[in-house]
Amino acid sequence: MSPVLMFVLPLLGAFLLPIVARASTMAGRLFGPLVLTLNCVIGVLAWGAVSEQTQVIALGGFQPPFGIAFYVDRLALLFAIAVSLGVLLLWPDAGEDEAAQRENTLTLVLAAAATGLALSGDLFNIYVFYELTAVASYGLAAARRNGAAYAATLRYVVISSFGAALMLIGIALVYMATGTLNLAQLAQLAPGTLDGPLGLAAFVFILIGAGVKAELFPVNTWVPEVYAAASKRVAGLLAGIISKLALLIIVRLLVLVFQQPEALQILLTLGILGVITGELAAWYARDLTRMLAYSSIGQLGVMFIAFSIPGPAGLYAGLAVALHHMVVKPALFLLAERQGGALERLAGSAQASPVAAGLFILLALSLIGIPPLPGFWAKFLVVTAALAQPGTAYLLSVAVILLAVVVEASYLFRVIVQLYRRVPPTEVGDAHDGATLTVCAALGLALIAAVLWLAPLGNGLQGIAAQAADRAGYIEAVLPAGVSL
Amino acid sequence: MSPPDLGAILFTGAFGLIMIGILGIVISTHLVRIVLSIVLLETGANLLLMLSGYRPGAAAPIIIDGVVPAAMVDPVPQALVLTAIVIGVAVQAFMMTLVLRLRSVYGTLDIRELRARLERDLAQEAGIGLPTSDDAPDVAGVGTARAQGGDA
């Protein structure tokens, strides 16, 4: 089955869901998870074929560069599967009223749009999916229907619309210079047309636009408020999954279109600033949700640093950090749902739920980067790749990442100490429910499995990075026999 | 003196709208003004996108009775702008809905007041005191915040 179904099914499902739920509430509850499971199966089945050869799907049968093409390599498929799996794990708590149903519908739209972002090979198509992702996430962010949720969401909408308009300006500049929006054709034409100041301006506009979702340094002020005001599942979804898709757009554009070293320097600088501001703000945070939100800004900063390292080594390192964060951050947010609130209210959590506290420690240690957990390995890859680069900026980034590890350890250990502080049995809070713990345990097991199969995992990721960095291969796959206008 | 170039005028207009929009978002304190600034910014971006396919003196890209015009404007940006306008209108409608809801919950549209209310609500929900300049994360300070926050 074609991977394009991974985009079509959730979108179709989103519109069918209200009808199905009207016929039977039971079917309505199972419908979304069923669609996403099917998506995962399709993705895994397509993996073998895509590993041998990348697939190019011309939508509507219009051949690129005239029509819109979906480009499916292992990187795109990996993120598409991760979206379906992540949304499935973070599926909103089943309720039967209309509000819960709307939330389910929006979640499916979010999954479809995010998959589209992973697969699309056309710049304007990416913009449309980006906006679709944004609109679905606005609805989810405001779903709690209280003043704080409205205010936080409005702030998010304003920043996001501002970013989207800048992205549109960037796309207009690209189109003026090249007359095409197909990524493969852009890659062909870029060396003569987009390597000047105009191309750099277009890159900065698109970077800031996509950076809103990817929690890039200057446009990430919405992050803590929205994550604190929305339900923790939504926070986990936005921080863990959706931000990585926005990052993927930036990476694709860097590899294919914007090849000037200045573009990488800008990304590196903003990444370093993101790490510094995110980690320091997390250290100052006094409630767990916002601490996790700020720490996610810091982690995204590490990814920006990694992706600013040219060549497959940077892609490999960035991919490792991104995947690791995709596993760890949603699980931490899920645990924070019950352990949320001020840090000192966490006291006694280990008495209420020893498993949850144990999982928190495992996830936190991996987030800090304690060997032998995968978080250590991911950060180690970034540091070694950055050290191999000439220039003081990369050295500075290494220093910042290492300092950030110390800061992260300091604030996460503070949380762990609180978890294990003993309180009188009357003050022990609620235990976690079974469903949340199962999901977190599954994600924790994924971390341990990653430790055990580190070598094959590393080889696999290296292969994916090499394929993603293959610019000529992308052009050849989308535009065989050198189609040119 | 030759008449000013139409393209140049439109470019100036597009960048002018973009600048006004960005400035409006940054300096306005009233929510409706911020929403209107976003409308201006998006209009500027759309105009710029239209201009990327503009050619002076060219006809609309429509072939009537088999007659192909000598010079046609590029139809692709026009299709793109149509999409962008639709997305923009939908998001603006959503923003205005949120503005109405905010107005009924908090009774104000001044962003400074709204920010303070949001900060207070979030702090209350988390059970911490309001952020102050000296909120160093020492355990004693957190303890007092707990006493104030109670079991909210």
CATH label of the domain that carries residue B16: 1.10.287.3510
| Min Cα–Cα distance to chain B from A150, Å | 6
| Min Cα–Cα distance to chain A from B111, Å | 9
Residue B123 falls inside a structural domain: yes
**Residue B144 scores a pLDDT above 60:** no
Nearest to B18 among A154, A169, A414 (CB): A169
**Residue A337 scores a pLDDT above 50:** yes
User: How high is the pLDDT of residue B145?
Assistant: 42
Residue B73 falls inside a structural domain: yes
**Residue B151 scores a pLDDT above 50:** no
Q: Which positions in chain A touch B22 (Cβ < 8 Å)? A: 162
**Residue A205 scores a pLDDT above 90:** yes
Residue B150 falls inside a structural domain: no
Nearest to A152 among B52, B95, B118 (CB): B118
| Residue B140 pLDDT class (50, 70, 90 cuts) | very low
Residue B31 falls inside a structural domain: yes
Nearest to A342 among B21, B99, B127 (CB): B127
The region of weakest confidence among A54-58, A120-124, A223-227, A288-292 is A54-58
Of chain B, the percentage scoring pLDDT greater than 90 comes to: 36
| Residue A339 pLDDT class (50, 70, 90 cuts) | low
Q: Which positions in chain B touch A134 (Cβ < 8 Å)? A: 91
User: Does B34 contact chain A (CB < 8 Å)?
Assistant: yes
| Min Cα–Cα distance to chain B from A368, Å | 19
| Residue B147 pLDDT class (50, 70, 90 cuts) | very low
Q: Which positions in chain A touch B143 (Cβ < 8 Å)? A: 344
Residue pairs between chains A and B whose CB atoms are closer than 8 Å? 153
User: How far apart (Å, rounded) are the C-alpha atoms in residues A131 and A167?
Assistant: 11
**Residue A61 scores a pLDDT above 80:** no
Pick the residue from chain A with its C-alpha nearest to B100: A150
Read off the tokens for B39: 């409308």
The region of weakest confidence among A203-217, B27-41, B52-66 is B52-66
Instruction: Please compute the mean of the pLDDT values over residues A234-259 and round it to a whole number.
Output: 90
User: Does B72 contact chain A (CB < 8 Å)?
Assistant: no
Residue B148 falls inside a structural domain: no
| Residue A481 pLDDT class (50, 70, 90 cuts) | low
User: How high is the pLDDT of residue B139?
Assistant: 44
| Min Cα–Cα distance to chain A from B66, Å | 22
Contact between A414 and B137 using a beta-carbon 8 Å cutoff? yes
Mutation target among A166, A226, A337, A345 for the B interface, most CBs of B within 10 A: A345
Q: Which positions in chain B touch A155 (Cβ < 8 Å)? A: 118
Contact between B87 and A131 using a beta-carbon 8 Å cutoff? yes
Pick the residue from chain A with its C-alpha nearest to B109: A151
**Residue A408 scores a pLDDT above 90:** yes
User: How far apart (Å, rounded) are the C-alpha atoms in residues A436 and A90?
Assistant: 9
User: Does B46 contact chain A (CB < 8 Å)?
Assistant: yes
Nearest to A342 among B42, B105, B146 (CB): B146
User: How far apart (Å, rounded) are the C-alpha atoms in residues A91 and A233?
Assistant: 8
Mutation target among B46, B52, B82 for the A interface, most CBs of A within 10 A: B52
Coil, strand or helix: which one is B133?
A: coil
| Min Cα–Cα distance to chain B from A56, Å | 22
| Min Cα–Cα distance to chain A from B65, Å | 25
Mutation target among A158, A279, A346, A415 for the B interface, most CBs of B within 10 A: A158
Q: Structural domain of residue B20, as residue ranges?
A: 6-60+69-128
Question: Is residue A18 exposed (0-12), middle (13-18) or buried (19+ Cβ within 10 Å)?
Answer: middle
H or E, element range at A72? strand A69-72
Pick the residue from chain B with its C-alpha nearest to A146: B105
Which long-range contacts (C-beta less than 8 Å, at least 24 apart) are formed by A373-376? A373/A447, A373/A451, A374/A320, A374/A324, A374/A447, A374/A450, A374/A451, A374/A454, A375/A324, A375/A328
Question: Are A185 and A56 a contacting pair, CB within 8 Å?
Answer: no
User: How far apart (Å, rounded) are the C-alpha atoms in residues B14 and A61?
Assistant: 36
User: Does B60 contact chain A (CB < 8 Å)?
Assistant: no
User: How high is the pLDDT of residue A483?
Assistant: 52
Nearest to B126 among A172, A179, A342 (CB): A342
C-alpha distances in Å from residue A165, one per residue of A363, A484, B27, B44, B49? 37, 30, 18, 9, 11
Position A98, amino acid: E
Contacts of A181 (CB under 8 A, 6+ apart): A122, A123, A124, A125, A171, A174, A175, B76, B80
Residue B16 falls inside a structural domain: yes
Tell me what the pLDDT averaged over chain B comes to.
Answer: 80
**Residue B64 scores a pLDDT above 70:** yes
Q: Which positions in chain B touch A341 (Cβ < 8 Å)? A: 125-128
User: Does B43 contact chain A (CB < 8 Å)?
Assistant: no
Nearest to A165 among B31, B41, B137 (CB): B41
Nearest to A124 among B48, B80, B91 (CB): B80
pLDDT digits (tens, 9 = 90+) for A415-448: 888 888 887 777 676 777 778 888 888 888 988 8
Q: What is the number of structural domains in chain B?
A: 1
Nearest to A284 among B41, B114, B137 (CB): B137
Question: Is residue B107 exposed (0-12), middle (13-18) or buried (19+ Cβ within 10 Å)?
Answer: exposed
Residue B14 falls inside a structural domain: yes
User: How high is the pLDDT of residue A218?
Assistant: 85
Q: Which positions in chain B touch A168 (Cβ < 8 Å)? A: 42, 45-46, 48-49, 84
What's this model's pTM, rounded to 2 decimal places? 0.89
Nearest to A151 among B25, B114, B127 (CB): B114
Nearest to A150 among B87, B90, B98 (CB): B98
Instruction: Provide the H-helix boundaries in A179-287.
Output: 183-193, 197-211, 222-229, 232-236, 243-256, 261-284
Here the ipTM equals 0.86
Q: Which positions in chain A touch B106 (Cβ < 8 Å)? A: 147, 151
Q: How many CA atoms lie within 13 A of A344 on its CB side?
A: 18
Pick the residue from chain B with its C-alpha nearest to A340: B126
Identify how many contiguous H helices and E strands chain A contains and give both numbers.
21, 2
Residue B46 falls inside a structural domain: yes
The region of weakest confidence among A143-147, A169-173, A357-361 is A143-147
| Residue A144 pLDDT class (50, 70, 90 cuts) | confident
